[in-house]
């Protein structure tokens, strides 16, 4: 997958620009995940290669190594570990970051920390390994006794001298994983966790990032896994249903009212690092805003902007949205098709979410809604938004977040040097696909900050379901286009025009005169009264299609740079069209007014 390849490249170029801390020892583990709230809140860590497999709760047998960031060659990795009981055999293996070279290992006949230790003080002893080289190291923790294969206590810390004391309560930002899996032992509030985890997300442009805080509040899933990525559920799923950015059922056994997935499963890709405390490295935010140009829609035969998925099979059944991004690395896009024709882009419409890449890109649409049903014949408006820094946390089979009278989980921004900024909006959609109908089940506008569900019992909205919560670093202005679903394959009339800078003011677009990009043009069909919008491409040209014999063209001149006056064309203008041909509806030129100034000599 292209996105995964680009993300791996992105992670490879991260440099360790660590802050200077006053203390020389840094610990992370069970304390950060719940022991800081009391012993009852302990979250038992799944060993790295646990054989636990329960597909209907979204937790399968997977490898889950932990990673440790080492800043200098003198630092030492120290690990405390307890199995399900003090007498359990436990093992520790240290690998290179790719997990290909074993650097050190040990097997202990019993735990090296008591399974009942509350971690509210200094730990003594522990396994130690000196890497000798800065970088990231993979840690594999195992419980070799019994069948549970969980670890009641774990702590990984970094110190600069062998004589340093170890305090598991100190956060440092060195320990992370792509997948954290835990067994809390209960659905109850007393076994929940209000831990904070942190993710580093690509900023879309060179050497830029977003860091997000996943702020859990009384999160109770009994047995659960924590992962994060840029889109949420994989889209489309095995049944061809578009589910990215939506909460959904895990599989056909889901307790939620969402549609069956025919025995198949929805999935969540683990893409981002999840740190147990604020990352120590400095991750500057981007200074460039994301931008979309050249947005349009064309059927699969390259004829026009209409498709006929219910008619002649294989002929113009699908179409492609095409667009160009200004990204240097990765981002995401959201295309919304106003299929309920209410003039708004939101609840009840078709959402197409996916990974965005630098340059030109195409996205196929098959004319179906988010439930897999063919959209009725008609004309539909669509918009696209390009996003950077998008972060999704998709809770799998988590029965409770917050619970009655409490907030629930949220996502906050972490600014450079660790300052928390809670001003970002948080989004979710538990309605479109999952089928929930609470007052706040749809939060597509970000009106609510906290995602709350459940009552600390089994069952409920989160049972055997994926509940997705996300935020966005930055987004482009929306760009618009219109398309049609028609009963036949007849071609529609093509409209072309352009908007340019008439530098010399002669009313003609001469060679070398540049176009204005991303200018919105309003088009009105006189007979139907339908109003729709298109945007100019990077050269100032726009394209649209209609079935009528005339069109009213109106340039949104407020989007032009200030100080420009029209020198070519008429705005607005009604243009007669010749059916079946390409019609040039005008070339609108604008010249910057001369700067006037008065100088006085005394």
Residue 577, pLDDT score: 95
Element (H, E) at 513: none
Contact present, 590 and 498 (Cβ < 8 Å): no
pLDDT mean over 226-235:
90
* Domain assignments of the chain as residue spans, ordered by start: 19-183, 492-592
Question: What are the CA-CA distances from residue 248 to residues 201, 224, 254, 463, 483 (Å)?
Answer: 24, 16, 9, 11, 28
In tens, the pLDDT along 302-311 reads 889 999 887 6
pLDDT band, very low/low/confident/very high, at 235 (cuts 50, 70, 90): low
In tens, the pLDDT along 58-115 reads 778 889 999 999 999 999 999 999 999 999 999 999 999 999 999 999 999 999 999 9
CA separation for the pair 521, 481 (Å, rounded) = 10
User: Could you tell me which of 278, 223, 281, 210 has the C-alpha nearest to residue 16?
Assistant: 281
Residue 602, pLDDT score: 38
CA separation for the pair 254, 12 (Å, rounded) = 38
User: How many Cα atoms sit within 13 Å of 15 on the Cβ side?
Assistant: 5
CATH architecture of the domain with residue range 492-592: Sandwich (2.60)
What is the model's pTM? 0.84
Contact present, 398 and 314 (Cβ < 8 Å): no
Q: What is the mean pLDDT of the chain?
A: 88
- In the block, tokens 């999160």 appear at 219
From the centroid of its chain, how far is CA 7? 13
Give the fold, CATH level 3, of 19-183: Jelly Rolls (2.60.120)
Sign, CA torsion 34/471/26/62: positive
């Amino acid at each position: 997958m292209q996105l995964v390849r680009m993300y791996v490249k992105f992670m490879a170029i991260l440099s360790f620009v660590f802050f200077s801390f006053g203390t020389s020892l840094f610990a992370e583990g069970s304390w950060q995940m719940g022991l800081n709230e009391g012993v009852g809140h302990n979250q038992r860590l799944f060993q790295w290669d646990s054989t636990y497999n329960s597909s209907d709760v979204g937790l399968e047998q997977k490898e889950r190594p932990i990673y440790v960031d080492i800043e200098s060659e003198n630092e030492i990795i120290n690990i405390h570990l307890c199995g399900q009981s003090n007498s359990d055999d436990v093992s520790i293996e240290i690998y290179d970051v790719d997990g290909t070279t074993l650097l050190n290992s040990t097997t202990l006949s019993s735990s090296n920390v008591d399974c009942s230790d509350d971690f509210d003080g200094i730990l003594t002893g522990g396994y130690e390994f000196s890497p000798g080289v800065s970088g990231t190291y993979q840690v594999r923790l195992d419980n070799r006794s019994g069948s549970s294969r969980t670890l009641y206590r774990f702590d990984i810390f970094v110190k600069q001298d062998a004589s340093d004391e170890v305090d598991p309560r100190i956060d440092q930002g060195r320990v992370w994983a792509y997948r954290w899996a835990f067994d809390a032992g209960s659905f109850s509030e007393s076994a929940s966790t209000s831990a904070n985890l942190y993710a580093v997300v690509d900023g879309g442009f060179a050497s830029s990032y977003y860091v997000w805080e996943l702020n859990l509040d009384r999160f109770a899933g009994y047995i659960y896994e924590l992962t994060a990525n840029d889109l949420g559920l994989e889209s489309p799923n095995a049944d061809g249903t578009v589910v990215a950015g939506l909460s959904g059922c895990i599989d056909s056994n889901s307790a939620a009212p969402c549609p069956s997935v025919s025995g198949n499963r929805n999935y969540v890709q683990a893409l981002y690092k999840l740190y147990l405390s604020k990352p120590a490295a400095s991750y500057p935010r981007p200074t460039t805003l994301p931008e979309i140009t050249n947005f349009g829609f064309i059927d699969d035969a390259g004829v026009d902007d209409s498709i006929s998925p219910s008619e002649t099979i294989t002929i113009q059944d699908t179409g492609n949205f095409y667009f160009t991004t200004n990204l240097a690395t990765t981002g995401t896009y959201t295309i919304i098709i106003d299929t309920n024709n209410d003039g708004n882009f939101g609840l009840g419409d078709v959402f197409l979410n996916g990974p965005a890449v630098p340059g030109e890109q195409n996205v196929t649409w098959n004319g179906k809604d988010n439930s897999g049903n063919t959209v009725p014949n008609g004309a539909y408006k669509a918009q696209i938004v390009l996003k950077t820094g998008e972060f999704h946390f998709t809770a799998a089979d988590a029965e409770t977040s917050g619970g009655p009278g409490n907030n629930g989980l949220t996502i906050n921004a972490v600014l450079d040097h660790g300052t928390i900024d809670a001003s970002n909006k948080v989004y979710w959609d538990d309605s479109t696909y999952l089928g929930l109908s609470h007052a706040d089940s749809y939060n597509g506008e970000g009106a609510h900050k906290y995602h709350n569900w459940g009552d600390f019992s089994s069952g409920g909205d989160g049972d055997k379901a994926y509940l997705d919560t996300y935020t966005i670093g930055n987004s482009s202005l929306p760009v618009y286009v219109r398309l049609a679903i028609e009963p036949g394959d007849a071609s529609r009339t093509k409209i072309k025009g352009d908007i340019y800078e008439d530098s010399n003011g002669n009313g003609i677009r001469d060679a070398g005169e540049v176009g204005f990009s991303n200018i919105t043009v309003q088009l009105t069909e006189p007979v139907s009264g339908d109003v729709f919008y298109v945007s100019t491409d990077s050269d100032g040209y726009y394209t649209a299609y209609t079935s009528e014999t005339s069109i009213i063209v109106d340039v949104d001149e407020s989007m032009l740079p200030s100080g420009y006056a029209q020198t070519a064309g008429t705005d607005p203008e009604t243009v007669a069209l010749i059916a079946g041909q390409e019609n040039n509806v005008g070339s609108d030129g604008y010249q910057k007014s001369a700067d006037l100034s008065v100088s006085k000599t005394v």
